Amino acid sequence: MHYESFDSVWAPIIATFFWSLVIGVASYLLVFKTKLFDHLITNPLVPPFLAIPAIMFAFMMGFMSSDAWQNFSHARTALINEASSISRLIAIPIQFPEYQKNANSHIQIYLEEVLNEEWGKNDNMSGSAKTKLALENLELIIWKGSAACSKSGAAHITCIDYATSSSYIKAIDDLRKAREQRLSLGYSSHVNVKWFLAMALAFLSTLSVAAVHRHNQKTAITSLILFCCSIWVTFSIVTMYSNPYKWAERLEPVPLTSILNTLKSGIK
């Protein structure tokens, strides 16, 4: 949606207020300022008719809120798995000191790119080439060490045993999966079709409120204000959780930042 281009944590709440305001004003003008609904003055709609579009709107909001909360939970799990995989990579001892130093250097590059580019600038909508390269370099270190085990002489000193290499590669695979899940959740949060459908249902529900009260303008205005305020609150709650990496209710990469600070301080 258009509000996603703004960085303010309150952008969804402000945007949904204007959505609700426009829906309410449009419904009022359509019912009371056009002749389309004049026949309702003599043949009014029965009040129970309000329940039909309102229930459909409630089901739509229930589906969207469940989807948003599920994405939020998956994003939290992905963050935990990513931090856990990095911690495992740092904790696994590599026999050759030079390999260990290079591996920690690439892990630091990975963390800096994730925090500054993927999480910071891109809001996890797209990945960074340097992050992918850091993962490939980590794998390359392990493959070189594994290949050295079959050699003799000085080259054998850089050998990385099977247990270490298999554990390290498993941790890299888990890290790659967690990163891809994080990026996929960031991208899927920007699918807008469901929001257009939700606003269409909100408009039909609000139009029904105005149409039922076509015979009394003051009553209609009061009902529209109350109903549009309810729409605003509902939209606000869902939008705050619609993207797990933005707005007031968002995840912060605290575990990744903590690991990066530990690496920079030289504590393993």
Rounded to whole angstroms, the maximal C-alpha distance in the chain is 101
Question: Which pair of tokens denotes residue 116?
Answer: 């500054």
For 246-256, what is each residue's pLDDT tens digit? 877 788 999 99
Total number of domains in the chain: 1
Q: Compute the average pLDDT of residues 3-24.
A: 78
Instruction: Show the domain range for 52.
Output: 2-265
256 φψ region: left (φ > 0), alpha (ψ -120 to 50), beta (else) = alpha
Q: Compute the average pLDDT of residues 133-151.
A: 85
Q: How confident is the model at residue 159 (pLDDT cuts 50, 70, 90)?
A: confident
Establish how many alpha carbons lie within 13 A of residue 262's alpha carbon, considering only the half-sphere containing its beta carbon: 15
Question: Which pair of tokens denotes residue 265?
Answer: 């301080």
Residues of the chain with pLDDT > 70, as a percent, come to 91
Among 106, 111, 112, smallest CA distance to 140 is for 106
Res 9: pLDDT = 66
Res 12: pLDDT = 83
Cα(82)–Cα(256) distance, integer angstroms: 8
Q: Is the pLDDT of residue 29 over 60?
A: yes
The whole-chain average pLDDT of the chain stands at 86
Q: Compute the average pLDDT of residues 122-145.
A: 90
Question: Which pair of tokens denotes residue 127?
Answer: 């990945």
Res 3: pLDDT = 46
**Residue 182: partners with Cβ closer than 8 Å, 6 or more residues away:** 75, 78, 79, 82, 118, 124
Res 246: pLDDT = 82
Q: Is the pLDDT of residue 10 over 90?
A: no
CA–centroid distance for 213 within its chain: 40
User: Comparing 24-28, 186-190, 234-238, which segment has the lowest mean pLDDT?
Assistant: 186-190
Res 155: pLDDT = 55
For 33-77, what is each residue's pLDDT tens digit? 998 888 888 888 777 777 888 888 888 888 888 888 898 999 999
